[in-house]
């Protein structure tokens, strides 16, 4: 294959929100610096969630103050409400802000009320207000959670997701993330939805965001790619999931692992723009920071092309 993809590294935000122990700012900074060396052009750095609800990010502004700022790299922060956007704007005005912010919605009523403490209509009203505040300072990233199924309601109507993408487009979002929040997607449903979305929204970059809860994460990445998607979220080591104080979904809730995602595309000859040696070093750094072996298969076995190259040379 002769193609390229963009991978957004989510370890420092979506990954760490699931951790039960606070990760020190210096360790978060070490991870983010390693992601810059790998060559990621879009990196989730933190969240402006309320510290009492998601204590993992009480150091958001302190972290942003210390971040490296390489040209061509966009850092992103999540903003679940208007107060979060105001905090993001304050950091922006102080010269330490991120380039992108994520605005959150859910494709199901029940998940919206559990995760965002608002009905869908209430949250969309908040999103409209947040977008009006933020779009003069930030690139807007819309997020549609539980796009392939809800742990409370089951099946989600694809038309709801399509309508939500349209609403984000109309609010000025440059990216819209299609989230399989609890790993209910399968390759057939992924391909079908992205084949509808991509031609319908050429002005928006659609981002595939999969969790590997049921072991289908990489298969779903491939299905989205075959449907025309070229932008993907992933997290080093396959970490992450819902905030640890909010419980929904079962089993392993982590994101699809970045190492495995990069290995897939590298094996196919699809350009990622990433330094593969630095990727594996960064993978080890993330395991050091969390103090345990993480869930990437590639971290254990090695990159396919590297192993095959050694075999041929022998």
CATH number, domain at 243?
A: 3.20.20.70
- In this predicted structure, the answer to whether residue 146 has a pLDDT above a threshold of 90 is yes
Residues 119-144: tens digit of each pLDDT: 999 999 999 999 999 989 999 999 99
Question: Stretch 306-314: mean pLDDT, rounded?
Answer: 60
**Interatomic CA distance for residues 304 and 302, integer angstroms:** 6
Question: Mean pLDDT for the chain?
Answer: 94
83 three-state secondary structure = helix
- pLDDT at 1 exceeding the cut of 60: no
Host domain of residue 271: 3-313
Structural domains of the chain, count: 1
Q: Are strands 139-145 and 175-180 parallel, antiparallel or unpaired?
A: parallel
**Across the strands, what pairs with 175?**
141, 205
| Neighbour-count burial for 180-193, b at 16+ CB within 10 Å, e otherwise | bbbbbbbbebbbeb
Q: What are phi and psi of 123, to 5 degrees?
A: -70, -40
> Which range among 25-29, 158-162, 251-255, 293-297 shows the weakest confidence by mean pLDDT?
251-255
In this predicted structure, what is the pLDDT of residue 311?
46
**Kind of pairing, strands 42-47 and 74-79?**
parallel
User: Rounded to two decimals, what is the model's pTM?
Assistant: 0.94
pLDDT at 268 over 70: yes
Q: So what's the pLDDT on residue 314?
A: 34
Partners of 104 in beta bridges: 143
pLDDT at 312: 40
Q: Please tell me the predicted confidence (pLDDT) of residue 2.
A: 62
Backbone φ and ψ of 105, nearest 5°: -140, 165
Residue 247 predicted with pLDDT over 80: no
Two tokens, residue 274: 């990433």
Q: Is the pLDDT of residue 251 over 70?
A: no
**At a CB cut-off of 8 Å and minimum separation 6, what does 206 contact?**
165, 175, 176, 177, 178, 194, 197, 198, 229, 231
């Amino acid at each position: 294959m002769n193609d390229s993809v963009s991978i957004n590294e989510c370890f420092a935000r979506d990954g760490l929100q699931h951790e039960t122990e606070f990760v020190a700012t210096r360790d978060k900074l070490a991870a983010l610096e390693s992601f810059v060396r790998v060559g990621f052009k879009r990196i989730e750095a933190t969240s402006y969630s309320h510290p009492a609800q998601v204590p993992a990010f009480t150091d958001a502004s302190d972290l942003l103050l210390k971040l490296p700022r390489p040209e061509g790299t966009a850092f992103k922060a999540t903003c679940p409400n208007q107060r979060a956007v105001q905090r993001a704007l304050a950091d922006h005005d102080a010269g330490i802000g991120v380039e992108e912010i994520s605005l959150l919605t859910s494709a199901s009523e029940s998940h919206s009320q559990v995760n965002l403490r608002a009905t869908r209509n209430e949250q969309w009203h908040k999103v409209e207000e947040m977008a009006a505040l933020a779009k003069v300072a930030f690139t807007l990233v819309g997020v549609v959670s539980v796009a392939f199924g809800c742990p409370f309601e089951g099946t989600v109507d694809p038309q709801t997701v399509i309508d939500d993408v349209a609403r984000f487009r109309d609010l000025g979002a440059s990216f819209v993330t299609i989230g399989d929040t609890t790993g209910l997607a399968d390759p057939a449903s992924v391909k079908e939805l992205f084949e509808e979305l991509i031609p319908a929204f050429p002005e928006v970059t659609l981002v595939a965001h999969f969790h590997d809860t049921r072991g289908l994460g990489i298969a779903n990445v491939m299905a989205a790619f075959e449907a025309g998607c070229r932008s993907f979220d992933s997290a080093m080591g396959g970490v992450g999931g819902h905030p640890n104080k909010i419980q929904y979904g079962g089993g392993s809730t982590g994101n699809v692992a970045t190492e495995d995602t990069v290995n897939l595309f590298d094996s196919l000859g699809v350009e990622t723009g990433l330094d593969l040696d630095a990727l594996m070093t960064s993978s080890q750094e993330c395991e050091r920071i969390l103090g345990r072996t993480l869930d990437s298969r590639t971290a254990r076995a090695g990159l396919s092309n590297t192993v095959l190259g050694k075999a041929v040379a022998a």
